Amino acid sequence: MIQTYSLAFIPNKVIIDFVKEMKQKLATEIGWFHSKNAMAHITVCEFKIEESALPMIEQQIIQIANGIKPVTAVLESFDSYPNGAFFISPNKASKQELKDIMKLFTTRLKVPNPYKSNDPHLSIARKLDSQKLAIANSLLTSKPLSFNCNSISLRKLNLEVKQFEIINTFYFKNEGFNEGIQTSLF
């Protein structure tokens, strides 16, 4: 059976709880919104594969993660996209470091037709209209937050709750890259 999966950076519990509080505060003012119930994360990519291919994908993720050096990610300010996404953006240095890690995964992980995120951000809300974006900007206050980005989590879409759930976490080991392991499904 084909399943939907996602790779994401998951911040520490302090940031997860802080973002959850922000989402609850925003929901009190504007009601339900997209991403309201999603746990804090920075999406790297999403893909669909046969469930039977998952062990091979996990081996690819392990190989990639073993070569990556952990970084400190600093989340600094609110921003938004024209599509109504409201998010916390990393500072310039952290954004580049996260982009570099994201690119390693999106170029080395061999899955068909992945959605690749190319701008690291931690979503608070999605698909807000201009009025709700203005409320979010005036209501929520940002403070610099940081976490040790030392792993990537594999998440599976739970169709019942319409949320991704973590099924495995892969730690960065800074061991360099071993090119000898097959990384292709096809």
Please indicate, yes or no, if residue 84 is contained in any of the structural domains.
yes
Average pLDDT over residues 71-90: 95
Please indicate, yes or no, if residue 179 is contained in any of the structural domains.
no
Range of the domain at 22: 2-171
Q: Would you give the end-to-end CA distance of the chain in angstroms?
A: 18
pLDDT at 44: 97
Give the 3-state secondary structure of residue 152: strand
Under DSSP, the state recorded for 83 is: T
What is the tens place of the pLDDT at every residue in 104-149? 999 999 999 999 999 999 999 999 999 999 999 998 887 889 999 9
Reply yes or no on whether the pLDDT at 183 is more than 60: no
Please indicate, yes or no, if residue 176 is contained in any of the structural domains.
no
Please indicate, yes or no, if residue 183 is contained in any of the structural domains.
no
pLDDT at 178: 64
Task: Report the predicted TM-score, pTM, of the whole model to 2 decimal places.
Answer: 0.91
Number of domains in the chain: 1
Please indicate, yes or no, if residue 181 is contained in any of the structural domains.
no
Please indicate, yes or no, if residue 112 is contained in any of the structural domains.
yes
Please indicate, yes or no, if residue 159 is contained in any of the structural domains.
yes
Residue 124, domain CATH: 3.90.1140.10
Both tokens of 111, joined, read: 């899955």
pLDDT at 174: 93
User: Which letter, b or e, does each residue of 61-100 get, where b requires 16 or more Cβ atoms within 10 Å of its Cβ?
Assistant: bebbbbbbeebebbbbebebeeebbbbbbbeeebbebbee
What is the tens place of the pLDDT at every residue in 15-71? 999 999 999 999 999 999 999 999 999 999 999 999 999 999 999 999 999 999 999
Reply yes or no on whether the pLDDT at 89 is more than 90: yes
CB 132 within 8 A of CB 33: yes
Please indicate, yes or no, if residue 93 is contained in any of the structural domains.
yes
